[in-house]
Amino acid sequence: MFIYSITAIVKKDVETEWIKWMKEVHIPNILHTGYFNNHKFYKLRIPTNASNEVTYLVHYECETLEHYLSYVEKEASSLQAEVNAKFLGKVTSARMVIEAI
């Protein structure tokens, strides 16, 4: 199993709106692509961020690396553009893929 992991640093002034949008719109849209079969949504507690930021992690599970690579090729740019359009300058993201051993 492979996990597509996104770490998002979110400004506190949009935190509630961002969480709601992630749960109601963005995460369902990513799962709807069919490349991922599950997800987990986490809030980082330790270490803490600057006083005006919080860190969240979203993990999307996929069976093969090919599923992830197909997602990147066909879907990722448009879905990432939606985040940027809605939360430009308010959310910074880093992405990685990890393999379950």
For tokens 């996929």, the residue is 62
For residue 53, give both structure tokens.
């930021």
The CATH number of residue 35's host domain is: 3.30.70.100
Arithmetic mean of pLDDT, 10-28: 98
Question: What pLDDT sits at residue 49?
Answer: 73
**Mean pLDDT, residues 64-81 taken together:** 97
Total structural domains in the chain?
Answer: 1
Domain that holds residue 95: 2-99
Which residue shows structure tokens 């992405």? 95
